[in-house]
A and B are shown apart, each in its own frame.
Chain A
Amino acid sequence: MTAITDRQKLQYIAAQAADARVNVELEAEGMTLNIGPQHPATHGTLRIVARLDGEQVIAAEPIPGYMHRGYEKLTEVRTYAQVTALVNRIDWLGSFANEVPFILAAEQLMGVEAPPRAQWIRTLLFEMARISNLILFLGDMAVQLGAVTPAFFAFRDREYVLDQIERVTGGRFHPNFDRIGGLKDDLPQGWLADTKATMDKVRAFCDEIENLLMGAEIFQARTRGVGVIPPDVAQQYGLSGANARASGIDWDLRRDQPNGMVYPELDWKVWTHPDGDSFARFWVRLQETREAANIVEQCCDGVPGGPIMAKVPRIIKVPAGEAYVSTENPLGEMGYYVVSKGDLTPFRVKIRSASFNNVSIAPWILRGVYVPDIITILASLYFILGDIDR
């Protein structure tokens, strides 16, 4: 490994990228490879500028921002009820999970608490969003490693989960279902039984992926020992979610900070893996998909009766104050810091999204790896571009 670790090298790359001549001419020593913003492996429009020596990466710099949609600013001109439609689009694969922390923060400011039935259904849909998100990760990881077939299985089986979400909320991807003080609607009839049957399909999919992909020697050769993140480095870069747990950090906001959710009443487990490599991240997410299926089933059994909406005024004015609420979203910790001045709209919203921190480790972790491992590592870090750029 060529040991060029200083910041100067990265600054050089950034300057070169700014010159926008990175993919045009060949340099005398090494080569600067511009991966993205349009590239099949970037799930959107992340750009990675990698300085190569042969096939080995000397330094790499992720350049986000090609998909910046200004959500933090846009929330300032939306009423609280309108914000959920907007933030749905942050992590578009687990949409419902984006709404929850914002609603929780607003509820905290208003001093409202959702009735128990709404809390249970919220938890249920939250975990279903996690499943629909992680199923696609499990398939997508295979595509990034060159196996196309598991991705089709992933799309097929995710559809069962999305169908169930659609039956409740009316939207496959963007439910816009969470409300301050509860939920928009109650569950349709027979939905709970169907959802439990769907969870069996999810488990069958997990078994299939485990046999088809995770057990394959080539998959293990490609992922084991690739992109190892030690726990202390993971903490320094602020990794969260499965990326942190795969480095052996036993930290899960569902257990440690379950505000407004019913996780303490359920029987489930936080999975960690000591290795911290790409395989560990895949393994942890696979186990979490299964665990989420368990949680959904328990929620289906445990949903109490009662109203789904607390008493809230028709026109929502949030009292002045500040609140930060974060939840364990499919991609990691997602939090909203909401500042209110007592208006119809938030005064300022800061969105802490998981992917931005998760991808910030890229320069550290991509140093010295081979070009194919860039793809493996990025796929295993699992980011959604909407979640990085917001």
Chain B
Amino acid sequence: MSGAVLGIQMAYWQETLLKLGVGLAAVLLLTGGAVYLYLFKFVSFMQSRLGPMEAGPYGSLQLLAEVGKWLQKEDIFTENADRFIFGLAPAIVLSSTFLMFVVIPAGPSAVIADLGTGIYYVLAMSSLSVLGILMAGWASANKYALLGGLRAAGQLIAYELPLVLAVIGVVIQAGSLNLQDIVAAQSTGSIFGWDGIGSPYILTQFVAFGIFMIAVQAELTQTPFDMPIAESELVAGYQVEYTGIRFLVYFISEFATAVGFAAVASTLFLGGWALPASWGLSNGVMHVVGPLMISTKAILLVGVVFWARFSLPRFREDQLQTLAWKFMIPIALVNIVVTAVLKVAF
């Protein structure tokens, strides 16, 4: 089997390797960009300080310095830790993150695997990380880590549901689970017969978008849902015993997942890589513009995540469950019913 990338004929393995390499580079670049832009600078200005200024212009190379620091640190296993599981846990969390990106399209053909069950696959992969977190919590042989791991398990499972239910509204409207189809459906749709900007689903599925972003905030364990790592209570929760490169892996996966979910949200609700109203949907220019479009949208949504993270206090565990089960899930269900009725009616 062979395919064409930008018109160049190549073998399947070559194509896959190319896509994986480009995908990995893109994900790491976006993640690094988001960390620098939001975690270092945006937040610093929110908190009336400058943030990193010395490493590179405006501290733009600070992240490289931080990564270098982490790589140099001693890799410590605690005495009572279950060494194998302790070492494996960050790898599982990281792979769950990277597997999410496999089906997110960044252009007409810029997708590693164009699965028919795209969004279903994304949600399944993203929920794998809870395994790694539970393993980390248990294998650390630390009570803070255990509490954090159990909190994370309860929280991630509770917020999978609103996440999935919010997506269902979009799936009903688009009539497909495939992310490319969802992008196409948004850019070819029309608003009351006017197809000037297509029909990004944020206009019709704004309720689902809100629920999705709140659930994403919880899935990412960012404040106000950061009880699993609550630094003022559990010190760092399941990450408390990790140092050096293993902590770096958690760090990367935390922010890469943020970028991943933001990319999914922009695909589902903001039109993905497409320009409004199917302008050049099959045009060759979109091979270049598409990735830029989805990167921009994803980075902006990551900004929303960080904005909330550094503005709000933290919920308590029971309040978080109440929010999920008593408010978000019922609202998401109503949204599904309304969407389904309207879909049939019109």
Contact = CB atoms under 8 A, between A and B. Distances in A.
A148 B230 contact: no
A352 interface: no
B330 to A, nearest CB: 19
Contacts of B311: 147, 149
A222 B317 contact: no
Interface in A207-266: 213, 216, 218-219, 221-222
Interface residues of B, number: 30
A252 B178 CA distance: 68
B227 interface: yes
A156 B144 CA distance: 32
A145 B317 contact: no
A146 B232 contact: yes
A33 interface: yes
A12 interface: no
A222 B143 contact: no
Contact of A149 (B46, B234, B318): B46
Interface string B40-75: 000100111100000000000000000000000000
Contacts, number: 85
B223 interface: yes
Nearest to B319: A221
A338 B50 CA distance: 49
A142 B147 CA distance: 22
Contact of A31 (B143, B231, B232, B316): B143
B313 interface: yes
Contact of B316 (A40, A149, A156, A221): A221
A342 interface: no
B314 A147 contact: yes
- What interface size band does chain A fall in? 20 to 34
A260 to B, nearest CB: 39
A39 interface: yes
B29 interface: no
A72 to B, nearest CB: 32
B232 A375 contact: yes
A147 B223 CA distance: 8
Interface string B132-170: 000000000011100100000000000000000000000
Interface string A348-390: 0000000000000000000000111111000000000000000
A90 interface: no
6 contacts: A33-B147, A145-B232, A146-B226, A146-B314, A152-B48, A373-B316
Given A144-B232, A221-B319, A372-B316, 19 more contacts: A23-B143, A33-B147, A41-B232, A41-B233, A55-B147, A143-B232, A145-B313, A145-B314, A148-B47, A148-B223, A152-B47, A152-B49, A153-B48, A221-B315, A221-B316, A222-B319, A370-B316, A370-B318, A371-B234
